[in-house]
Amino acid sequence: MLFPLLVLALGLAGAVEIQVPEEPVVALFGHDATLRCSFSPDANFSVAELSLIWQLTDTKRLVHGFSGGRDRLQDQGRGYANRTALFYDQLARGNVSLLLRRVRIADEGSFTCFVRVRDHSSAAVTLQVAAPYSKPSVHLEPSKDLKPGDVAMVANEEGLFEVRSVLRVLVEPSVTYSCLVLNAVLRQHGHASVTITGRALPFPAAALWVTAALAACVLALLALLAFVCHRRLRGSCRERRAGPEEREEEGEEPKPALQLLENAESREDPEPELH
């Protein structure tokens, strides 16, 4: 119950002027960060009179407490154990900044500094966490069938991402493609490029099979077209050489067997009459 009572006491007292940075504090992931907070003590100020609380602005979760000349960490949030400290040799000069070790992605947010020396005041400090990155690597993978959406970006256990971007292009010699990565928080950028030279790239096996199949289809169509043209041309030549009677015979339709028999009987010579 020490710190709830201390906060209540801070609310009942007057105000002391404290200074915090107006701009967010930018920290690198895994590195230490300093959340600056200070005030101007009186000439006869004693550290034993100082009561200090650092807590999360939104959840009021205790990050670090100090009063009576020593740390008060009984109610400290579990995620901050062994990760916070004050600049103890500078407390007498009014420096009540917080040292946060091994910054995590989850640390990003607003921290409130409560200071009480006879009277009290508070102010918030914003922490932004940026992850350092390596120089982007650009390379060609002509033999892989890459499609948009193949790789999904998922944060790891520490909240970090591995970013991978794929650009599909038509292969042209002597063309340079560049990749630029910007980090707005750190105000830094990384750059890499790759140039396609005049050397022929390996031809994908799938494309080879497709090309062979298309070539076979084209050859088959050409052969069929040549056969049809040849048949029509030969038929036209035979028709020109044949006479009218031959063309009529060729043009006659086959007759039924009964009709052929009747025609044959009608053409037989009549039997001679006996006198």
Summarised one tens digit per residue, pLDDT across range 203-224 is 555 566 677 777 777 777 787 7
pLDDT digits (tens, 9 = 90+) for 162-186: 666 777 766 666 677 777 777 777 7
pLDDT at 227: 76
**Looking at the predicted structure, is the pLDDT value of residue 48 above 60?**
yes
**Cα–Cα distance, 247 to 233 (Å, whole number):** 17
Task: Say which amino acid occupies 171.
Answer: V
**Cα–Cα distance, 194 to 192 (Å, whole number):** 7
**Cα–Cα distance, 187 to 185 (Å, whole number):** 5
pLDDT at 5: 40
The residues, ordered by sequence, that sit 6+ positions from 20 with a Cβ below 8 Å of its Cβ are 36, 37, 113, 123, 124, 125
**Looking at the predicted structure, is the pLDDT value of residue 15 above 70?**
no
Average pLDDT score, the chain: 75
CA-to-CA dists, residue 50 to 6, 124, 272, angstroms: 11, 19, 158
Tell me which of 263 and 118 has the higher pLDDT: 118
pLDDT digits (tens, 9 = 90+) for 81-134: 999 999 999 999 999 999 999 999 999 999 999 999 888 899 999 999 998 776
**Looking at the predicted structure, is the pLDDT value of residue 249 above 60?**
no
